[in-house]
Amino acid sequence: MGLRRILALCTVLAAVLGYGASVAAPALAATSTTATGFVRCANLSPGNPAVDIYLLAFGNSGNPTVLKHVTYGDVSSYMAVPSGEYTVAMRAVGASASSPPIVSTNFMVNAGTNYTVASLGPAAARRVEVLKDAMAAPKGQVLVRVIQASLKQNQVTITDGGHTLAQQLAFGAVTSYLSVPPGSQNVQFSASGQHTAMPETLAVGSVHTIVVLDSSSGLK
């Protein structure tokens, strides 16, 4: 499964992956069927080594989907999977499939529903968060949510023109979707001693996930 660096995921898309401070990576749109759900995986745990991500259906543990060498800020494309219960497990790169995972969780995939399964938090408190993804906005609007994955900045405020998307959002937190007007916007990211911005065109009906990441030069 190909991986792409998250900048900000925009679905419908376009996490970009959503799924972000500047973050916007287009996620691939998926066509729903009555027996199929869609899952993408992301590594949003700063300061941790890359992982191999295993996705396997209950009762079919011998045939997992494996995403290799997923580094911080990476998000996969959506994978179409039969509805049912799944386990996602993250292991050190190259570790045996039978070795204990660094972190794992079980979750249910419902037909016609899209999910982002993300590793969040630092090494000492790493967790897997299963997020249900919207794939369409209300008529004439845009949906935006924010994932705060910057460890260097514990709290970040994100604004979009006259709208506050997140106020002092803590590390590891995920907002609900917020409905905003479409158009060309300058998304602003503010934290203690830091300020950055990125231009973004929010198309009518689109859905976006902004992911705040650490980089060597500050927020990204």
Per-residue pLDDT of the chain (220 residues; tens, 9 = 90+): 444 433 333 332 333 333 332 233 333 333 444 599 999 999 999 988 999 999 999 877 778 999 999 999 999 999 999 999 999 999 999 999 999 999 999 999 999 999 999 999 888 889 999 999 999 999 999 999 999 999 999 999 999 877 899 999 999 999 999 999 999 989 999 998 888 888 999 999 999 999 999 988 888 8
* pLDDT for 162: 79
- Chain centroid offset of residue 104 CA: 16
Show the 3-state SS of the chain. CCEEECCCCEECCCCECECCCCCCEECCCCCCECCEEEEEEEEECCCCCCEEEEEEECCCCCCCEEEEEECCCEEECCEEEECEEEEEEEEECCCCCCCCCCEEEEEEECCCCEEEEEEECCHHHCEEEEEEECCCCCCCCEEEEEEEECCCCCEEEEEECCEEEEEEEECCCECCCEEECCEEEEEEEEECCEEEEEEEEECCCCEEEEEEEEECCEEC
* pLDDT for 21: 29
In this prediction the pTM is: 0.82
